[in-house]
Amino acid sequence: MDLYILIGAFFFIALIYSSVGFGGGSSYLALMAQPFFALMPDTIRPTALLCNVVVVTGGTIIFYKQGKLVWKDIWPFIVMSVPMAFVGGFWKLQDDTFFIVLGFTLLVVSILLWIQQDERAVTAIRFESTSSQLAVGGGIGFLSGLVSIGGGIFLSPLLHLACWAEAKKISALASVFILVNSVGGLMGQLSRGLPPLDWAFIASVMVAVFAGGQIGSRFGVQKFKPVYIRRITSLLILVASINILKDHL
């Protein structure tokens, strides 16, 4: 029954997140980290990253075909993020420490998701210089590898608040950012040696997110109202983060 719940939830998470250019890693983590499922970090971390890769690969291809991925615009964000994601993935945390870091990370994610659609909340930081883009990419990349998310959930709201580019270009950057960071984080984890994994479980949820991601990528934002999706998701992640912190602090 636990597996069926996760398969169904992963499908809908992938469908919703892919429609707005994300992979869903934060919600996969929030779900799997609930005590009800009794999953450990050695299973949670690679599963979330593998699901991210499956979902955002399709979105990245679609954005590339649409001409929304321009190398000169995106390289400063990803050139430092990938090695830093590798370092974060390589860094093994104690189980309780992982859940605490994850809980606080999800708490921040819930806030960023909520404020992203506030068009009036424009920051003075524009992220126009290469050094600022390298710093942002590297910092988010490290955190992404550490807790096993792609990082687009952090990068996208920041770029929206800074009015860095049009919404579709930001979504395109978020997709490729999530893809390369997820691969970097996985490589970091694998470099420590592959832990015993339930591949039947991982394969099941990967099939679910592939199906959901394909549907969501094709529907896109035209079929959903992103502001409502993000705010509902924000509340769900907030509840999950509080539940995680309550059990591990």
Q: Which residue has the higher pLDDT, 1 or 135?
A: 135
CB-facing half-sphere around the CA of 74: CA atoms within 13 A = 25
pLDDT, residue 5, reads: 92
Q: Where are the domains of the chain?
A: 2-248
Q: How far apart are CA 78 and CA 76, in angstroms?
A: 6
CB distance 74 to 169 below 8 Å: no
Of 23-27, 52-56, 152-156, 223-227, least confident by mean pLDDT is 223-227
End-to-end CA distance of the chain: 29
Mean residue pLDDT across the chain: 85
pLDDT, residue 128, reads: 75
CB distance 238 to 110 below 8 Å: yes
Average pLDDT over residues 154-175: 83
pLDDT tier at 163, thresholds 50, 70, 90: confident
Question: With the C-alpha atoms ordered 44, 49, 50, 56, is the resulting torsion angle positive or negative?
Answer: positive
Q: Specify the pTM.
A: 0.86
Alpha-carbon distances of 3 from 36, 72, 236, rounded to whole Å: 12, 43, 20
pLDDT greater than 80 at residue 113: no
Average pLDDT over residues 154-159: 85
DSSP letters for 127-149 = --SHHHHHHHHHHHHHHHHHHT-
Of 2-11, 80-89, 112-121, 140-149, least confident by mean pLDDT is 112-121
pLDDT, residue 19, reads: 77
CB distance 27 to 212 below 8 Å: no
**Phi/psi class of residue 151: alpha, beta or left (left: φ > 0; alpha: ψ in -120 to 50)?**
left
pLDDT tier at 218, thresholds 50, 70, 90: confident
CB distance 11 to 208 below 8 Å: yes
Nearest in space to 235 (alpha carbons), one of 54, 111, 99: 111
Quick one: how many helices (H) and strands (E) in the chain? 11, 0
pLDDT, residue 136, reads: 93
Average pLDDT over residues 92-99: 88
pLDDT tier at 100, thresholds 50, 70, 90: very high
CB distance 47 to 61 below 8 Å: no
pLDDT digits (tens, 9 = 90+) for 173-204: 989 999 999 999 999 999 988 778 888 999 99
CB distance 156 to 22 below 8 Å: yes
pLDDT greater than 80 at residue 107: yes
Q: Which residue has the higher pLDDT, 204 or 58?
A: 204
CB-facing half-sphere around the CA of 145: CA atoms within 13 A = 29
Of 48-62, 68-82, 218-232, least confident by mean pLDDT is 218-232
pLDDT tier at 215, thresholds 50, 70, 90: confident
pLDDT tier at 222, thresholds 50, 70, 90: low
Average pLDDT over residues 19-39: 86
pLDDT digits (tens, 9 = 90+) for 116-143: 655 444 455 567 788 999 999 999 999 9
